[in-house]
Amino acid sequence: EPEVTQTPSHQVTQMGQEVILRCVPISNHLYFYWYRQILGQKVEFLVSFYNNEISEKSEIFDDQFSVERPDGSNFTLKIRSTKLEDSAMYFCASSESSANTGELFFGEGSRLTVL
């Protein structure tokens, strides 16, 4: 069964360092998303991406964050200068149609620990 894959599964970094989280969405999906879940809290929307551009972003997704689809398969989330409060599980998701109508499929997540 097709699945969303994410790497790395766990990354530990020092505050102020840049981090890139990688995702391979399901191959025929057109819409891509990043969500995050701080330990013990709700899953929160970060950004949605369609047709090589951001379609929506939350207030969490500030200038420290960026997303990119560098080739036909990968979808990345970059955090330029990590802060302690960026420690969370980051989930990539994809859907065949927009989040309005389509079912979202999530990856296993990348756990980011900022020291």
Partner 1 sequence: KQEVTQIPAALSVPEGENLVLNCSFTDSAIYNLQWFRQDPGKGLTSLLLIQSSQREQTSGRLNASLDKSSGRSTLYIAASQPGDSATYLCAVTGYKLSFGAGTTVTVRA
Task: Kindly list the residues in this chain that would bind partner 1 in the complex (CB under 8 A).
Answer: 6, 33, 35, 41-45, 48, 55-56, 58, 91, 93, 99-101, 103-109, 111
Using the minimum distance from each CB to partner 1, give the nearer residue, 11 or 108: 108
Using the minimum distance from each CB to partner 1, give the nearer residue, 15 or 43: 43
Q: Which two tokens stand for residue 95?
A: 């859907």
Using the minimum distance from each CB to partner 1, give the nearer residue, 14 or 41: 41
Angle at 26 between CA 90 and CA 9, to 5 degrees: 30
Query: What is the smallest separation between the CB atom of 101 and partner 1, expressed in angstroms?
Result: 6
Asked if residues 30 and 50 have their Cβ atoms less than 8 Å apart, the reply is yes
Q: What share of the chain is helix, strand, coil (3-state, %, to 5)?
A: 5, 50, 50
